[in-house]
Amino acid sequence: MRPELNNYRIVLLTACLMLTGLVHAGSAEEIDLKADAALTELVASVPETQPLLDNAAGVLIFPVVVKSGFGNDIEYGEGALRVGGKTIAYYVTSAEALSLQLGAQKKSLFVVFRSTEALTDFREPDVWVTGEHGDIDVFQPDTPDTSATIVTVLLEQGGPVYSLSLDGLSFRKLDK
């Protein structure tokens, strides 16, 4: 498929998701309220994450990430980057992959920066892409003392997900 057609499909699907209200958070205040609720749900669902969050240099919270599939999986979500419990920036995450999935699903994504250096390296480029700019490990409750400097936790309906591929997931700063 020609790249311009592929880009057109991404824009079209993202626009459809935003028009349905599933993803587009709107205001900074709305993102912050949803991020607060998502953090509360995370700690209630996976209490082992509390020490991880308490010792983090920063946490990027995507309260709602929608994955929609129509021959391609498109993921999109808006979130807040918090340092010391305060939002310092807003980000959008997106990804695309070939799939046979039809329909949509919602999840919450948390990216925990375990060092100031990892947080600084993440904020430096305009777009940060997993696998290209760095790696993100998936949090495992049975091995919470991982040496990874960036760890993610994913909550889907029904609880946490401990095995997933994050390759190609991109993060871009939003103006809010």
Distance CA 161, CA 145 (A): 18
Nearest to 130 by CA among 101, 150, 109: 150
Residue 38 structure tokens: 């998502």
Place of tokens 């871009």: 172
The pTM of this model reads 0.80
d(CA 89, CA 73): 27
The pair of three-digit structure tokens given for residue 107, joined into one six-digit string:
């999840």
Q: Over its length of 176 residues, how does the chain's per-residue pLDDT go in tens digits?
A: 444 444 544 554 555 444 444 445 579 999 999 999 999 999 999 999 999 999 999 999 999 988 766 556 678 899 999 999 999 999 999 886 544 454 556 789 999 999 999 999 999 999 999 878 888 888 887 765 667 899 998 888 666 766 566 767 899 999 87
CA 22 to centroid of chain Cα atoms: 15
Query: What pLDDT was estimated at residue 138?
Result: 85
∠ CA 134-167-62, rounded to 5°: 85
Q: Which two tokens mark 33?
A: 């309220």
According to DSSP, the residues that pair with 66 across neighbouring strands are: 76, 106
Q: What pLDDT score does 98 carry?
A: 46
